[in-house]
Amino acid sequence: MLFWIRKKTIALFFLLPRLPTPPTLQEIKMAQKIANGFGELGPLEEYHYSFVQDGKLTLVGRKFVAQPTHNWGHRVAFAGTSVLTFDKGSQSWERHDFSELISEENVDETLFVRDDKLHLLVYTNFGAIEFKKLFRWENNTFVELKLTAPARKSLDEQHRTEFIAANGVTSKGETVLLVGEDGIQLYTLSVDGSSAHIAEPVSISREDKFLNGKPVLAEALGNQVLVSYGVHGCGFRWESSRFFVFNLDTKSVRAIEVKMDFSELPKYCFTGPKTSTVNPATNSWIVAAGSIQQGMTGSAHYGAVWALKNVFDESAEPTWVELPHTVDEGEHILDGLDLYTVTKDAVSKIQLDNV
């Protein structure tokens, strides 16, 4: 009798509807190693900027430079470091060292790619908005361009100026430069041969929507600029649900709020994702890799990949979607839908879903 009950119970179990299988680690797509890393190129800086330029994965070393007048210090390339390039076709590395570009204490830099060439812009770091010099990476060295720019704007001597450059260029072929100062100031930079020009700025004012934030990431698409920012509170925190889109033609700003539960948003903390791009097929904004807070002051790697859909479309609700991919720690570079992770030991690659 007991045997019959057990057989019936087993039979009923197999007739019950199956619940959906939760996602497992096996379903998450991981990057695959395609080549050795840059560890054999000799002693290098610990920190790097990372880009795709001239069709190559490119790392630029960052050297610590003290700023004793301002009781500060930062890691910069203009002090003279190395440019490391990885040819995706031959899967080979090259190293090119360069000398100090500028020796002043009170300067900082932003690096960006336009016309498939790496550029380095140097500006005053404390007490002013002032553009100093612009360099372009040519024939394995930095070449200075002739730069014209707005006149110096004096600020409080303790005010720290930090520019970022938007990825991509506008419909007019301009690079957008952003800085947090009485709101957010947007400058456009154009290049013609060996000359460059920075136009007078336009503003997203302090009173415009939401919070008084500092830009950390930006994307130029046509006549629009997506601005992602962070705010100071208990430390510095990237905003995962609030953004601005600035129209360069109308000089108008649209505030965007992602109306999703906090549990459905990306978990990047501090300054947000390390790398980003716009998918040209869908205009979704793709971001990858960063950190999450651990304990009161610590952090841990967060290798998730997310896409913000409809962010450039005024008629649709913006929505975050987590992609089934993850990446390990390292330098991260998005080249279209190819996401590379670069370390001393390996170059790894994963192709992202078209979202």
pLDDT for 14 beyond 60: no
Q: Kindly report, residue by residue over 96-117, the tens digit of the pLDDT.
A: 999 999 999 999 999 999 999 9
Q: Is residue 314 part of a domain?
A: yes
Show the domain range for 333: 258-355
pLDDT confidence of residue 227: 96
Residue spans of alpha helices (H) in 205-355: none
CB 226 within 8 Å of CB 283 = no
Q: Kindly report, residue by residue over 33-81, the tens digit of the pLDDT.
A: 999 999 999 999 999 999 999 999 999 999 999 999 988 899 999 999 9
Q: Is residue 39 part of a domain?
A: no
The predicted model scores a pTM of 0.90
pLDDT confidence of residue 3: 39
Q: Is residue 153 part of a domain?
A: no
Q: Is residue 145 part of a domain?
A: no
Q: Kindly report, residue by residue over 311-341, the tens digit of the pLDDT.
A: 999 999 999 999 999 999 999 999 999 999 9
Q: Kindly report, residue by residue over 1-11, the tens digit of the pLDDT.
A: 433 434 444 34
pLDDT confidence of residue 269: 92
Q: Is residue 202 part of a domain?
A: no
CB 235 within 8 Å of CB 247 = no
Distance CA 343, CA 38 (A): 7
Q: Kindly report, residue by residue over 250-267, the tens digit of the pLDDT.
A: 999 999 999 999 999 999
Q: Is residue 337 part of a domain?
A: yes
Q: Is residue 251 part of a domain?
A: no
Q: What does the DSSP 8-state code read for residue 39?
A: G
126 CB-side CA count, 13 A: 13
pLDDT-above-70 percentage for the chain: 91
Q: Is residue 315 part of a domain?
A: yes
Structure confidence at residue 209 as a pLDDT band (50, 70, 90):
low
Total tally of structural domains belonging to the chain: 1
Work out the number of other CB atoms within 10 angstroms of the CB of residue 127. 17
Q: What is the 3-state secondary structure (H, E, C) of 66-132?
A: EEHHHCEEEEECCCCCEEEEEECCCCEEEEEECCCCCCCCCEEEEEEEECCEEEEEEEECECEECEE
Q: Which residues contact 23 (CB under 8 A, 6 or more apart)?
A: 324
